[in-house]
């Protein structure tokens, strides 16, 4: 599992598979290694994942601030777009890739929903 944070900033969001990536991003080296060493591989690039078993705590951070009555600082104008996906959706994608290795092999998948949300909107969710 990679990350949509791998992409360079663009003036034309959302990112699509094949957009320019940051050469110094650690996930770039991992994806390159996988493509060189393994015949069957796939890369999944989520942006923000929510749900049980998620190893990131972005939603817990928001909830912690809200339940404690603390402000939720939002960078910039708050109108920057992002994308949220549930871990169940990612696990479904991973399962389908394992079940269909010839179809998924060598493919990069952005794991995002079909609707973006602003950072302000994310805080209000």
C-alpha distances out from residue 7 to 65, 71, 88, 107, Å: 29, 29, 23, 16
Instruction: State the Rg of the chain over Cα.
Output: 16
70-113 pLDDT, tens digit per residue, is 998 998 999 988 888 888 999 999 999 999 999 999 999 999 88
Q: How many domains does the chain have?
A: 1
pLDDT score of 115 more than 90: no
Read off the CATH number of the domain in which 48 is found: 3.40.50.720
Mean of all residue pLDDT scores within the chain? 89
Domain span at residue 78 reads: 4-124
Distance CA 32, CA 21 (A): 12
Q: Which residue bears the tokens 């949220």?
A: 84
pTM (2 d.p.): 0.82
């Amino acid at each position: 599992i990679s990350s949509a944070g791998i992409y360079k900033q663009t003036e034309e969001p959302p990112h699509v598979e094949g957009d320019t990536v940051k050469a110094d991003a650690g996930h770039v080296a991992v994806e390159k290694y996988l493509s060189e060493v393994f015949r069957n591989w796939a890369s999944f690039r989520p942006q923000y994942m929510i749900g049980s078993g998620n190893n990131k705590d972005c939603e817990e951070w928001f909830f912690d601030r809200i339940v404690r009555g603390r402000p939720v600082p939002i960078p910039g104008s708050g109108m920057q777009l992002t994308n949220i996906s549930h871990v169940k959706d990612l696990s479904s994608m991973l399962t389908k890739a394992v079940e269909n290795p010839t179809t998924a092999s060598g493919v990069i998948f952005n794991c995002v929903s079909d609707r973006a949300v602003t950072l302000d909107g994310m805080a209000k969710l």
